[in-house]
A and B are shown apart, each in its own frame.
Chain A
């Protein structure tokens, strides 16, 4: 199976380790991974801040880059939800504005083929034990767009529970937003910071070493808050845990 990795602009620029982990993990599971070099950004930040017209060309570009692959895999629930949920909506809106069928038609092929990583592992590859080894205590934060947007359900937790050596701790208030919200973190910094601090306190109460999530943008906010609060915890993307083995452990 030949799949395209849609790494997202945030991962590419700030979290290349997550990308390397996805490549390592999928290759180990027998998947032929390609990274189309012309990929950029799905347009979510533009769309969610109200710049729908700026987001449209980015969505078109995304479709041009990825339309010929069998599947598109992304280690981001948030960007995955952008493609799966909001691209069809952008198409509908363009149609309602009398701008023809073109955008909706262009975007349609990539929508059903785009999978968030844990969804791809469980639903497409049909695995929950990916042969990982990670001897740490971990608590899992289900990010909003993964939880309520894509409906990832218990897929990430099932994958984590099958990791050897990993002890999973329940996170109190797990389904509450961490307060990132893209430009929300800047536009409403006080509220965002208060939400982040509460998330970190809840995570600390589990006694886990690691807070894990399937979205680096939320982890950037939570990790940045942990750093400032001098918490002993570390934020780690779920891909890095699933890629970790006894021979090649994640740091």
Chain B
């Protein structure tokens, strides 16, 4: 056997060392975290009506994509020299990564309000462009798009909370929907419904932790608070959250609750068989009677939410979306023109909310955040047959006007569901008290999210 000129172990060791040096010294230094941070930029200039160019816009796939596609057609007619590539994209999966990497970016995108605050450094500051519309835009929507006093999203839809109820069942139980002015009235109505039908569990309480937390935020927002303050500090330990959580506990203790996942089979079955008759939820619940319910179709109605204190606000926001323009977009000015058209110009918002091929009666799952688009006397969508012909527009825009402003949604909000969303479920299951929910969630959100933000 011949002897190797250089021992194999030495070759390995040397190569490993060289590899490590090469890896550590060159590329590592160049690609090390923090070496290529991006600075947020301010978008100020509005291009002229004769602007030319091409933009790529991302939207959610599904019905809403088709609605926007039709509305973008109206934009193309107004600005014939701007070519819009409208793409259906899994925004939740792709947008954040694309913003961070800075490659293959769209010029604008649809996005949840809850996600904008966390990515502000990768977005254009739109404060100056939105200034002319600011006074007439929902204070709530402006607040959730604002980070450090600057606005990073073009406010689009406003999702007011409403009280959905089965008119026939309430009538049978002798409950007047107009009399449901406080949350105590709501509990009393639920008891009346159960007296009429012992199998009834009239109040819907959400089983999905994320939607459950969104629902809780709607009820807290109705009282003018939210999970985090303007500095991103947790403010769960408050009178307002205690009000909501104590009310939930009372409803659970009185066995008035159907605990089911939003519009999954068990929920639909309980809605159809009359077990559930009261659903405090966002305006987008209108989807259920219009698309999913069969027996209950035509029997559901919407009313303002009850107030937490007599004379208090009758609605809160549950979700919502806006439009963002990435700081590294190629044609940000043209993207702004499109979003300005869709959100603040009459032909634009009418094209979005008005009758379309997808929704012949108009888009009924939200209302515009821009005040002039929300006139009660100029409805953008028609009365809804699946709600017995009720004028949902008027109910929704009246409710939208009462939504108090909030604080910016912190970047860690979605992650807080692991604590608050889960603990809310434990409360509904009777495994935790309201104080436990507040103490445990506050402690864990502070340690795991706020301190490490």
* Chains A and B come from one and the same complex: no
